[in-house]
Amino acid sequence: MTIPTFSPIQPATVDWQETTPVAVDFDDPYFSRQDGMAESDHVFLQGNRLPERFRAMAAGGIFVIGETGFGTGLNCLLAARDFLEHAPDSARLHLVSVEKHPLRKADLARALAHWPALCSLAERLLAEYPAPAPGFHRLQLHPRVQLTLLHGDALALWPQFHHPVDAWFLDGFAPARNPDMWQPELFAQLARLSRPGTTLATFTAAGVVRRGLAEVGFAMHKRDGFGHKRHMLVGKIEGQEAHPVSATGHILVVGAGLAGATTARALAERGCQVTVLDPDGIANHASGNLAGVVYSTPSAHLTPQNRFYQQSYGHALRWLQRHRYPAHPEDGNLNGVIQHYVDERQQDKLEQAMTTGAWPKELLQPHGDNAVQLLGGGYLRPARWCQHLLNHPAISQVSARVVSLQEGAPARVTLENGETLSADAVVLCTAGQSQSLPGLGWLPLKHIRGQVSYCQATDASRRWQQAQCHGGYLTPALNELHCVGATFKLHEDHTHATDSDDEENLAQLRHHLPALWQELGGEHIQIVDRRVAFRCQSIDFLPLCGPLPVATNNPHRPAQGLYLNVAHGSRGITGTPLCAELIAEMICGQPLPMDQEMIDALAPARFILRKRKKQPEWMP
């Protein structure tokens, strides 16, 4: 039977037997009743010789641990603690763990309470713990420790991961109770992702596991098990162990809007020195509206496009929380977004997203009879978010316009004044202006004019707390002004604001939300100001994020040192943090934060490749 790569997640059902969580489906405890922490240390940390290997790491080194069953996260937290204690201060740890049936957050918190020695890391895990949605979820346990949780079946998800692993934790319920996981297909994936010096350890000594791992190239040995378990297994791919060093350097980011600010921050946090180039300053184009809404478009269909909308939403919420933004009421609030049904088709789509479990209740819930609520979303001031992100000692800003690019090592840009700048990489975050650069006219981008109306708050409207989406959107007051918008004009290119666009915004509000239109003043709504900007959108509605193809006649070879992060449309606040991490990890040579299907769906080269073959089945 073929296992679907991505499907709705069924969280674990837990039977608490005194202080021990037991998985009902497998009738097996999550950790040793005798001493869970001691067992994990003995089997996984000592079995892989992690303390000594961490001490031997070079400055700037990267160590990757793969795990086949996340469970309570105990193994990962112990590994993170040992890494922070023993590894060089400039080294980085990536934990990658699969879980088919993740614990609910309340059960996870109850389990982690057993180990106060891990409280600081456990608090970070709980703060960033994702909703039970399918796919890859990137979390940060510490500035130097990343955790990528893969929600779904291990046999389906490991093929979507492509970075070498240095040590394996083969954890999961016992082979006799969970035989579906301990399969030759899984052992083959472990071997594919291993390299000389890669080790593994597992609590089981079952012959089928030992023989299966030996067949794919691991030199297997028994050693004393923990407690009452007589034996456990350890293994290694023969050869000299070597750890790559993170490829930090000087990076040029062109553009200081949402895409540029998030990209610059992601690179700076990985040790790069970043120069942001923008002749117009911070967020003075499409990212410069008074308010923007943190939201997504839920769907029951788990295509790469819809999964990007879901995973980027959760990722954006983690970024905002991590960076403590918004911290002031005048910067916005993340208290949920109300999405009103505009027609039966949208209602069916949103209700299917909930009833199928594709969007879990932690993210999406009914709100009355004619709306849903996106939990965790909200509204904020995009320009201030950009300023917040760019406030980092490794980021500098230069007012300059780029007029041409040159690939290479180093990559180069030429400025409007004729000056040439070089860097280890260049990332274009220039939205629709990217097409004006030589050689980039082929980019399939749409420029969609939008006008937002800024309306004076009233006594009634000042009580509004949540952003409302309908055919347009409406935000609570910021600086006594509500954002009402926005028009969507694909075939207009003028930049001046018009009274007719304001009338269109208010008419749409009146049609979909007549009570709120009335509270805002009804026929006497006072428009204080308005703003015109151009959304940049691709023809398949996904961003272009990844290496720039060297030429349209050679899409398989990326231009050396050149990257794109553009076309976020009206979802810039939501989509840019995940895309920024993808670009940063590509440049720095670290594990990527999303699955290969999604990486391919975002790759700028997809439009060139699509002309040469039939449209992929996943395309909308």
Residue pLDDT, tens place only, 183-206: 999 999 999 999 999 999 999 988
Give mean pLDDT, residues 291-300.
97
Give mean pLDDT, residues 585-595.
97
- For 144-198, the DSSP string reads TEEEEEEES-HHHHGGG--S--SEEEE-SS-TTT-TTTS-HHHHHHHHHT--TT-
pLDDT score of 425: 97
Distance CA 579, CA 598 (A): 11
pLDDT score of 172: 66
Does the domain at 14-236 match CATH 3.40.50.150? Answer given as yes
State yes or no: pLDDT of 594 exceeds 50.
Answer: yes
Give mean pLDDT, residues 492-521.
96
pLDDT score of 613: 52
State yes or no: pLDDT of 612 exceeds 80.
Answer: no
Give mean pLDDT, residues 80-86.
98
State yes or no: pLDDT of 260 exceeds 90.
Answer: yes
By the 8 A CB rule, do 253 and 276 touch?
yes
Neighbours of 395 (CB within 10 A): 20
Kindly state the percentage of the chain with pLDDT values over 90.
Answer: 83
Which position has the higher pLDDT, 482 or 609? Answer: 482
pLDDT score of 404: 96
pLDDT score of 11: 94
- State the residue for tokens 């980011």: 253
> Quick one: pLDDT band at residue 617, thresholds 50, 70, 90?
very low
Q: Is the dihedral of CA 274, 278, 282, 283 positive or negative?
A: negative
State yes or no: pLDDT of 168 exceeds 60.
Answer: yes
On average, the pLDDT of the chain sits at: 93
- CATH fourth-level superfamily of 250-254+385-444+548-610: FAD/NAD(P)-binding domain (3.50.50.60)
Give mean pLDDT, residues 234-263.
93
pLDDT score of 618: 28
Query: Which residue pairs from 173-176 have beta carbons closer than 8 angstroms and sit at least 24 positions apart in sequence?
Result: 173/23, 173/26, 173/28, 173/69, 174/26, 174/28, 174/204, 175/204, 175/206, 175/208, 175/209, 176/206
3-state secondary structure of 6: coil
3-state secondary structure of 263: helix
Beta strands 395-398 and 273-277: pairing type? parallel
Distance CA 260, CA 252 (A): 10
Q: Choose the weakest-confidence range: 161-165, 213-217, 378-382, 551-555.
A: 551-555
3-state secondary structure of 300: coil
State yes or no: pLDDT of 165 exceeds 90.
Answer: yes
Structure tokens at 423: 């860097």
State yes or no: pLDDT of 619 exceeds 60.
Answer: no
By the 8 A CB rule, do 430 and 457 touch?
no
- Rounded to 10 deg, the angle between the 258-268 and 572-588 helix axes is 40
State yes or no: pLDDT of 220 exceeds 90.
Answer: yes
State yes or no: pLDDT of 57 exceeds 80.
Answer: yes
Distances (CA, A) of 469 to 368, 378, 487: 15, 11, 13
Distances (CA, A) of 514 to 344, 517, 607: 19, 5, 42
Q: What is the pLDDT of residues 440-485, one digit of tens each?
A: 999 999 999 999 999 999 999 999 999 999 999 999 999 999 999 8
By the 8 A CB rule, do 612 and 556 touch?
no
E strand or H helix at 378, and its extent?
A: strand 378-380
Distances (CA, A) of 440 to 403, 433, 436, 606: 11, 10, 7, 14
By the 8 A CB rule, do 314 and 577 touch?
no
> Quick one: pLDDT band at residue 173, thresholds 50, 70, 90?
low
Q: Choose the weakest-confidence range: 122-131, 287-296, 510-519, 552-561.
A: 552-561
By the 8 A CB rule, do 461 and 482 touch?
yes
Beta bridge mates, 397 = 276
State yes or no: pLDDT of 511 exceeds 90.
Answer: yes
- Rounded to 10 deg, the angle between the 304-322 and 572-588 helix axes is 90
Q: What is the pLDDT of residues 2-32, one digit of tens each?
A: 677 899 999 998 888 888 888 787 777 777 7
- For 51-102, the DSSP string reads HHHHHTPPTTBEEEEEES--TTSHHHHHHHHHHHHHS-TT-EEEEEEEESSP
Give mean pLDDT, residues 231-244.
91
> Quick one: pLDDT band at residue 614, thresholds 50, 70, 90?
very low
pLDDT score of 555: 66
- Rounded to 10 deg, the angle between the 74-86 and 105-112 helix axes is 50
Structure tokens at 587: 């440049």
Beta bridge mates, 570 = none
Structure tokens at 437: 């650069």
Give mean pLDDT, residues 305-324.
98
pTM greater than the 0.85 cutoff = yes
Of 30, 39, 38, 83, nearest in space to 61 by CA: 83
Give mean pLDDT, residues 46-52.
97
Distances (CA, A) of 189 to 155, 163, 186, 216: 8, 12, 5, 9
Give mean pLDDT, residues 397-415.
96
- State the residue for tokens 């893969």: 150
State yes or no: pLDDT of 89 exceeds 80.
Answer: yes
pLDDT score of 241: 87
Structure tokens at 210: 């030992």
What are the residue boundaries of the structural domains of the chain, listed by start?
A: 14-236, 250-254+385-444+548-610
Q: What is the pLDDT of residues 106-162, one digit of tens each?
A: 999 999 998 999 999 999 999 999 999 999 999 999 999 999 999 999 999 999 999
pLDDT score of 588: 96
Give mean pLDDT, residues 326-351.
96
Residue 420: how many CA atoms within 13 Å on its side-chain side? 7
Give mean pLDDT, residues 315-320.
98
Q: Choose the weakest-confidence range: 10-14, 33-37, 58-62, 290-294.
A: 33-37
pLDDT score of 318: 98
Residue type, 409: A
Distance CA 79, CA 543 (A): 35
Structure tokens at 17: 């037997």
